[in-house]
Amino acid sequence: QKAAEDVGSRDSILIMPTGTGKTLVACMVCELALKRADNPKAFALFICENGSLLEQQASSFLRDGPEEWRTSDTAIAVASGNE
């Protein structure tokens, strides 16, 4: 939570080893940014390197994000430049 708050309050680069929770922190940063925006049309953009990583990250965001991300069909959108 602290890392997400620190990263979410300014431009940041997060460097963490594999398996230490980068996706969870990114999810928390997006959640905090959307809450701070206080705008129902606000959105967060999360960019991935490839399609398989994109699907993995979207699944993690749905699992770890707030309940409304799981119950809204527009909260998480997955798109690939390769399609």
Q: State whether residue 59 is helix, strand or coil.
A: helix
Residue with more model confidence, 61 or 78: 61
Average pLDDT over residues 21-43: 85
**Cα 20 from Cα 44, distance rounded (Å):** 22
pLDDT score of 32 more than 80: yes
Q: What is the largest CA-CA distance in the chain?
A: 37
**Cα 8 from Cα 26, distance rounded (Å):** 9
**Cα 55 from Cα 48, distance rounded (Å):** 9
pTM: 0.74
Average pLDDT over residues 3-28: 80
Nearest to 46 by CA among 59, 37, 36, 38: 59
